[in-house]
């Protein structure tokens, strides 16, 4: 299970590309997902799975949080989970989830020590996120926005920074995830070399409350890590507020004026704790 709280970037790797595995230890992504699903042709899925198991068998201990993205649970994903259970990694991610039955089926197979992450790519799952949190091992949601738009019969041309429908999708996904104590990871931006637009998406999502972004490669990871990081000033402020509030609380004073940060009360204190909790 996860050992750190700050997850800013989730980078996708293709297990058919051996050079990706060779660079694995140098990658800066907080989470790394080995993808067995839509980027892998049907004729090569067995090869991709074998490459994953070979890598997991030989890998040394790493600080990376490793996720295996299987195929849909009813399209071979169940068999993949059964095979992968004996290997060391942190989470399984199942795509094309529709309802809690898909989640329960995966949990019944998955090793108890591993997390279950879900890709929200269907209209059924998007409309009923709260029903998917059926177990504490379900910890993370990934927004698969291109498949979701298709499921909703909406064109991909809507995917622009100022489109109100996209803003609604991002907002609903985030709030529903947060309301169920789930980490919400925003969608992958496919135009890898357009770092300017990717940066704009990250800044927009950060302003909305997102903490993490799906990434295609090292350039996107570097940007996401920087934008979704907690700044030194934020950390300094949170530590100060925690200390000064707890000192005043011992004197039964839970609301007071501070010469450095103005009025401090319990909600301000709780917000500081939230920041510190992410770094634990």
| 110-133 tens-digit pLDDT | 999 999 999 999 999 999 999 999
Lowest mean pLDDT among 101-110, 118-127, 169-178, 224-233: 224-233
pLDDT at site 280: 55
Annotate 47-68 with b (16+ C-beta within 10 A) or e (fewer).
ebbebbbebbeebeeeebbbbb
Is residue 2 predicted with pLDDT exceeding 70?
no
Cα-Cα-Cα-Cα dihedral of 211, 63, 96, 45, to 10°? 150
Lowest mean pLDDT among 8-17, 92-101, 189-198, 233-242: 233-242
Exposed / middle / buried, residue 180 (Cβ in 10 Å: 0-12, 13-18, 19+): middle
Dump pLDDT digits (tens) for 8-48.
999 999 999 888 888 888 899 999 999 999 889 999 999 99
User: Could you tell me the two tokens for 54?
Assistant: 């070979």
Q: Is residue 179 domain-resident?
A: yes
Lowest mean pLDDT among 58-62, 133-137, 168-172, 218-222: 58-62
Is residue 5 predicted with pLDDT exceeding 80?
no
Rounded to the nearest integer, the mean pLDDT of the chain is 93
pLDDT at site 230: 85
| 258, 244 Cβ separation under 8 angstroms | yes
pLDDT at site 1: 43
Task: Mark whether 81 and 170 lie in a shared domain.
Answer: yes
The whole-number average pLDDT for the span 196-223 is 96
Cα gap 48→54, rounded to integer Å: 10
User: What stretch of H or E contains 13?
Assistant: strand 9-13
Task: Mark whether 122 and 144 lie in a shared domain.
Answer: yes
Is residue 58 predicted with pLDDT exceeding 90?
no
Is residue 6 predicted with pLDDT exceeding 90?
no
Q: Which residue has the higher pLDDT, 221 or 25?
A: 221
Task: Mark whether 131 and 236 lie in a shared domain.
Answer: no
Ramachandran sector of residue 122 (left: φ over 0; alpha: ψ -120 to 50; beta: rest): beta
Task: Mark whether 222 and 242 lie in a shared domain.
Answer: no
Task: Mark whether 274 and 139 lie in a shared domain.
Answer: no
Tell the residue number behind the tokens 């000064």, with chain if given: 244
Please give the distance of CA 121 from its chain centroid, rounded to a whole number.
Answer: 14
Task: Mark whether 172 and 252 lie in a shared domain.
Answer: no
Task: Mark whether 125 and 103 lie in a shared domain.
Answer: yes
Domain range holding 70? 9-227
Task: Mark whether 36 and 101 lie in a shared domain.
Answer: yes
The whole-number average pLDDT for the span 251-271 is 91
Task: Mark whether 122 and 220 lie in a shared domain.
Answer: yes
User: Could you tell me the two tokens for 220?
Assistant: 């996107």
Is residue 96 predicted with pLDDT exceeding 50?
yes
Task: Mark whether 193 and 246 lie in a shared domain.
Answer: no
pTM tops 0.75: yes
Q: Is residue 3 domain-resident?
A: no
pLDDT-derived band at 170, boundaries 50, 70, 90: very high
Q: Is 126 helix (H, G, I), strand (E, B) or coil?
A: helix
Is residue 66 predicted with pLDDT exceeding 80?
yes
């Amino acid at each position: 299970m996860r050992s750190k709280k700050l997850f800013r970037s989730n980078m996708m790797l293709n297990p058919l590309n051996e050079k990706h595995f060779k660079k694995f230890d140098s990658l800066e992504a907080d989470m790394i997902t080995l993808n067995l699903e839509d980027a892998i042709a049907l004729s090569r899925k067995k090869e991709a799975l074998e490459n994953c198991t070979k890598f997991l068998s030989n890998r040394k201990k790493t600080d990376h949080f490793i996720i295996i993205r299987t195929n849909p649970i009813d399209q071979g994903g169940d068999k993949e989970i059964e095979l992968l259970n004996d290997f060391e990694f942190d989470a399984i991610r199942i795509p094309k989830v529709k309802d809690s039955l898909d989640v329960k089926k995966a949990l019944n197979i998955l090793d108890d020590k591993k997390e279950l992450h879900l890709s929200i790519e269907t209209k059924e799952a998007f409309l009923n996120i709260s029903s998917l949190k059926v177990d504490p091992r379900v910890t993370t949601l990934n927004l698969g926005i291109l498949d979701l738009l298709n499921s909703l019969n909406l064109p991909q041309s809507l995917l622009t920074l100022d489109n109100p429908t996209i803003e609604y999708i991002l907002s609903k996904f985030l709030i529903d995830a947060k309301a169920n104590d789930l980490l919400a990871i925003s969608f992958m931006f496919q135009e890898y070399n357009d770092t300017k637009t990717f940066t704009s998406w990250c800044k927009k999502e950060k302003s909305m409350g997102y903490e993490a972004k799906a990434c295609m490669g090292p350039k996107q990871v570097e940007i996401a890590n920087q934008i979704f990081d907690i700044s030194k000033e934020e950390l300094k402020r949170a530590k100060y507020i925690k200390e000064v509030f707890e000192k005043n609380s011992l004197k039964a004073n839970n609301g007071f004026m501070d010469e450095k940060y103005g009025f401090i009360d319990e909600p301000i204190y709780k917000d500081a704790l939230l920041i510190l909790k992410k770094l634990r």
